[in-house]
Amino acid sequence: MADYDLIVVGGGPAGYVGAIRAAQLGKKVACVEMDRAGGTCLNWGCIPTKSLLKNAEVYQQLKNHGSEFGIKIEGLSYEWDKIIGRSRKVADRLAGGIEMLFKKNKIDYIRGEAAIPKAGVVEVTDKDGKKSEHKAGKILVATGVVTRELPGFPFNGKSVIGSKQALVIAEQPKEIIIIGAGAIGIEFAYFFNAFGSKVTVVEMQPNILPVEDTEVSVTLEKSLAKQGIKILTNTKVEKTETTNKGVRITVSGKTTETLEADVALVAIGVSPLLPQGLKVDLDRGYIKTDDNYETSLKGVYAAGDIIGPPWLAHVASYEAIQAVEGMFGVTKPKKVTVFPGCTYCHPQVASVGLTERAAKEKGLKFKVGKFPFIASGKALATGDSEGFVKLIVGEPHGEILGAHIIGGDATEMIAELGLAINLEATIDEIGGTIHAHPTLSESVMEASHAAEGHAIHI
């Protein structure tokens, strides 16, 4: 007899969500986690970084724009330890909340490192080295990923760090070099720059946020440069070394130059974190799954970052629910096709569906509808009029192929457009939906009108 219907290995956004969904289906469930419930996202990623970024936004707003709002502030300052401390408190509170959800749903929460020697068996080694064996009808692997090091430039926790170390950095760096201009690199660039650190970003690709629409990336790069961030695109790291004062990095792009700083933050991607003993088919180190999220080992499933990109918490949770409902015969699982991507710097960036670049590469017939926030009454009223809404619209039917927003609250606005794509809504239907005035979301309606050539306010 199996001890459980399902053992979930990993307690992050895929793991804990999958465990809870299985418990809701009346299954006996255990979740094994070697660190803490919530995984990287809650403890060392999505949530604490958003806390830090909010601190940065508030400080920048008061420092640079307070007078615009008639607010006079003298002697404005900050306490670094409290900024870092607030983010940890937020993460701690949410991690405790997940543990409460496990109790509520009668899920056994097993702390330790998991090994999967064969189908149906999970071995757990706790922090004291004590081993235990647990049997299950099905296993869901949701072990996620870890930050990838730059070859020859290992993390030392002080002068060479990854995102995890950046979240708890005890002393604010005077100068920091960030290698990689994806969402993580750009968010930390904004955060450190906001509090006065001298920031240099190095990116191999022609644009920052390379996966985003090119027009959005170019607009953001100009904004961040205006804020004081030095951005080197089309630039490779040629040589790295640590020094008594920090780091020295030689890069080549338009010119070859040597950069020096007290800290280097490496944000070049992630590597898969596989459970010990698991022998399944892999693709570039990530677990291969079929349409049901089942691996090559019958009865063992996988979801979330461990099965490859996109490495996003909301995608991981979706995949876990699909996998669990599929394995227990509730629904036929769906693989991820349309999903939002968000970057929480300021201005924010959010997108869903195809970029203009991708639509051209696919040879699709389309048109573009764009509305700038400078023409939005709400954006002007809130003093946040930078950016635009951009819709990629298929022809001749007017369906939304992609949507891209750069500006304040972009990450909150993108959900409407994800729903529109899922429902195969047209710009006529979006434009025909009354949006409240004054709101930023009116700009979505205006962009749909702009695609037809009859926007009212531009």
39: closest CA among 294, 311, 265, 424?
311
278: closest CA among 310, 300, 245, 263?
300
Q: Is 195 exposed, middle or buried (0-12, 13-18, 19+ CB in 10 A)?
A: middle
Identity at 382, one-letter amino acid code: T
DSSP character at residue 72 = -
According to the annotation, is 203 in a ligand binding site? yes
DSSP character at residue 195 = T
Helix (H) or strand (E) holding 315: helix 313-327
Strand 29-33 to 108-111 pairing: parallel
According to the annotation, is 187 in a ligand binding site? yes
According to the annotation, is 113 in a ligand binding site? no
According to the annotation, is 305 in a ligand binding site? yes
According to the annotation, is 229 in a ligand binding site? no
Q: Which residues pair with 300 in a beta bridge?
A: 139
According to the annotation, is 180 in a ligand binding site? yes
**How is the chain split among helix, strand and coil, in percent rounded to 5?**
35, 30, 40
Residue 136 structure tokens: 């299950």
End-to-end Cα separation, the chain, in angstroms: 68
According to the annotation, is 428 in a ligand binding site? no
Residues 385 and 379 sit within 8 Å (Cβ to Cβ): yes
According to the annotation, is 96 in a ligand binding site? no
Distance CA 293, CA 414 (A): 27
DSSP character at residue 436 = P
Dihedral, CA atoms, 418, 423, 426, 432, nearest 10 degrees? -90
Residues 393 and 367 sit within 8 Å (Cβ to Cβ): yes
Alpha helices in 328-453 (DSSP H): 356-361, 377-381, 410-422, 427-431, 442-451
According to the annotation, is 186 in a ligand binding site? yes
According to the annotation, is 358 in a ligand binding site? no
196: closest CA among 334, 63, 84, 106?
63
Distance CA 187, CA 91 (A): 18
Distance CA 349, CA 431 (A): 22
According to the annotation, is 183 in a ligand binding site? yes
Catalytic residues: 437
- The residue behind tokens 């900024």 is 83
Residue 333 structure tokens: 């699982």
According to the annotation, is 176 in a ligand binding site? no
Annotated binding-site residue numbers for NAD(+): 180-187, 203, 269, 305
Annotated binding-site residue numbers for FAD: 50
Annotated binding-site residue numbers: 50, 180-187, 203, 269, 305
